[in-house]
C-alpha cells in the first residue's frame, strides 16, 4: 500500500519548484532558457512541441542530466542556462523539476499550465524534429 499519493507529491513539488507563467515564457526573448519537453514521443507526434525545445522523455531525464551516466546529454551541462520543463498539464514537469532539484540542480523551473496552457495562450507549436 502506498503511503503518499500523487496529490501529496505534487503539493510537495509545488512548495519548492518555481512555476513560470505562460506570459513570462512567451515574453522571454533571451537565450538563457532551455525548454525541455518531457512528454512521450507519441504525444509529440500527435500534438507537436514548442519550437526549439529539447525532448527529454520523463523516464530518461535523470540519466540524461547526470554526467556520471552513460546516457548523459551535453545539453544538460549548461550551468549558465535555466531549464524550463514542461509536460501536458504541468504534473510530470513539477515532479521532474523537484527530482532535478533533489539531484542538486538549482537552475530548474517548470511552466504553469504545461503544453496545454501553452497552446491555449497562443504559443507557437511546431513538429517534433526528425532524428538525423
CB atoms within 10 A of CB 63: 15
Domains by residue range for the chain, with CATH: 18-120 (3.40.250.10)
- Interacting residues of 96 by C-beta distance below 8 A, sequence separation 6+: 38, 58, 61, 85, 87, 110
| Partner residues linked to 55 by β-bridges | 37
Kind and range of the H or E run holding 82: strand 82-86
Mean pLDDT within 96-114? 96
Is residue 132 scored above 70 in pLDDT? Answer: no
pLDDT in tens, 19-78: 999 888 888 878 899 999 999 999 999 999 999 999 999 999 999 999 999 999 999 998
Amino acid at each position: 500500500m502506498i503511503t503518499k499519493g500523487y496529490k501529496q507529491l505534487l503539493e510537495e513539488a509545488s512548495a519548492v519548484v518555481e512555476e513560470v507563467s505562460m506570459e513570462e515564457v512567451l515574453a522571454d526573448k533571451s537565450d538563457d532558457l532551455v525548454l525541455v519537453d518531457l512528454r512521450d514521443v507519441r504525444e509529440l507526434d500527435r500534438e507537436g512541441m514548442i519550437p526549439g525545445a529539447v525532448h527529454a522523455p520523463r523516464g530518461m531525464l535523470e540519466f540524461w542530466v547526470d554526467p556520471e551516466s552513460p546516457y548523459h546529454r551535453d545539453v544538460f551541462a549548461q550551468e549558465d542556462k535555466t531549464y524550463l520543463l514542461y509536460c501536458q498539464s504541468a504534473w510530470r514537469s513539477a515532479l521532474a523539476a523537484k527530482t532535478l532539484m533533489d539531484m542538486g540542480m538549482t537552475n530548474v523551473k517548470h511552466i504553469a499550465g504545461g503544453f496545454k496552457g501553452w497552446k491555449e495562450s497562443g504559443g507557437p507549436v511546431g513538429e517534433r524534429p526528425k532524428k538525423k
